[in-house]
Structure 1
Amino acid sequence: METVNTALCSYGLSGKVFHAPFINLHPGFQLLGSWERSKKLIQTDYPHVKSYASLSALLADNKVELVVVNTPTDTHYDYTKQALLAGKHVIVEKAFTTTVAEAEELNQLAQKKGKKLSVYQNRRWDSDFQTVKKIIKEGLLGDIVEAELHFVRYKPTLSNRQHTEVPGPGAGIIKDLGPHIIDQALHLFGMPNAVFADMRITRPASQINDYFESILYYDKLRVKLKAGFLVREPVPSYIIHGTKGSFLKSRADAQEDKLRVGMKPNTSDWYTEPESEYGLLHTEKEGKVIREKVKSLQGNYLGYYDAMYKSIVDNQPIAVTAEDGINVMRIIEAAIKSNNEQKVTAL
């Protein structure tokens, strides 16, 4: 089996939890190492790999074919551009960049260089989203007229990751949790006609917007998005209403929690939700009204890397394209403009 030699741009939370375990597990990838600025940790977990002293050293390694840019958002444009110019395929963490213009430039550069460029939207492979997607695709709700997607947490204290809490072009919840639910909405329903957004600071010590609510306007559909850090008792994270019925689903995928404590995604039941988190389907089927729990589909972020492997080796379509990332940035920019002007922004 052909292998894709891969290196990370950092080995903090993102590298340790979301990338290295799946790269190491997938038979089509070979983890070569990571750029590490101060703490040298990757060799503790993966003794066979390198710890690169600089980005230039990583990019100069001719063995490296794929680079994962998993550094703070305001570095994505620069590091991705350098990697593409060095002839590498690139996976970029979300948010893709800080502006639409940067994202479009990177996409054009990747096409010019003939390299694969993808945004790491791993939440498409969450068990809860996979289940919601299936319910909608099967037409069990009829024509969708309203949808709500929430990504909320209870974190009243500031993060120790300073780049997420200090004002700057890559900071703010809309570029942190926002890209997850924006991408999911666009994946389900496509690009809207217009956007309205409200953003504010809710935590006493916060310097950046840590709450946002947005409405995406479609011809016959409204999609509401909401993210915040002061929700101790959340409502269902997915609320979908159609002409035939409704589907309510919690955000129950616990892959991140398991990965954070060192569990590896190498079991056949990774990740399977407990029955207590199954979604509620209330609709009409074959002329009969039903109200029942729906077993959740399995979630596994390995699906992202499997799709990326097939794209690089077999030239199959990229699962999460640069254009997908550009569209998310278009929504983010429109939302910021809407919030600043306090009016609906047309796309």
Structure 2
Amino acid sequence: MKKAVILEVSVLLLVFLVFSLSGCVTGPSGPSIYSNPYLSNRTSEYDLIEVSVNPSVMLTMGNYTSIFNDDLSDEHLNDLKSISPSLLSVTVSCREDAKYEVDVSDEETEYRMIFSGAWNAQPTEEEQKMKPFFDFSITKNLEVYLYESDIKLIDGPNGNAAATTTTTIGSATIVRGSSYISSLLVGNHVYTNVLRVNLLFSGSDPSNGNSPLELVYFFDKSVGLIKFDSYLIYDSNKIPLMSVDLIETNIGTYEIGPSPATNLEPNNNPVSKNDVVFTWNSTETTVAYNLIYFNSNGDSTVVPSLSHTTYDAGPLDSDLYLWTIVTVGSNGLSTISQPALFMAY
């Protein structure tokens, strides 16, 4: 893979993260809390979710510096040309708690799903950067929109017709597809007659670097949002960006996962392939560490349940590697570290 490819993908991922949801949804005034059956009011309830994220998203969000620097010779750079795009499609998962809040106004009810950001090495009680995709507004007519946008997800209390609709906002076109899934396994539960809503975003001017973005929501009529997937469609490939699966409902309490591992090494530099030693720092004491690394083909190696902050992998093939640490706390919640990238030669 050439330098330009990684930089271009980073730009595309950044477009995904800062995509503007313009416009405002308003409806008739009223003091009631509006609740659509597919997005029921679950204020003060807590769920366990599994969040899977593409490490390339985290690299972009962390202002990652390119590994293509003066320390690498032309020979090493030439080795990168054969790297498979599969490395850009890998994902890493962690488990977080989610909570729900509503904010009632005269015009609508704002419905929020909040989780801590352990997927992005930032476990806090504050809502994280993915807010635009898990923040909804419900009108008096029980229509569901992405909050502060003209993008309608659900047409009313009876769901959507199995059809396709198109909305234009500025230079973006959003195509919504709706269908029903007779049976869907999410976590350890089988849901029936699930409403699937697919949003395909595409810019009118691809020369500006816009690539289609796909968001897919799955709603159960009694539970609400049970699954979310997102993809960047790049070079005819669907690159997974982030997914959220509902693992367990009504867990009783809302907790934060452990602090992430930091100072991952090797990072952003070439190392000898003959003896690769992974090291990281941690402020936690009663945790386990899962070390996950990927080669340039996207093939993964998982070293689970480490108790120390170092691991000697021995010799590795000459290749580019992406790796991260998932820190697992005693409460079963986990946090993904900011990933690192290095070349073994």
Give the shorter-chain TM-score range.
under 0.3
**Rg larger in structure:** 2
Q: Which has the higher helix share?
A: 1
TM-score (norm 1): 0.25
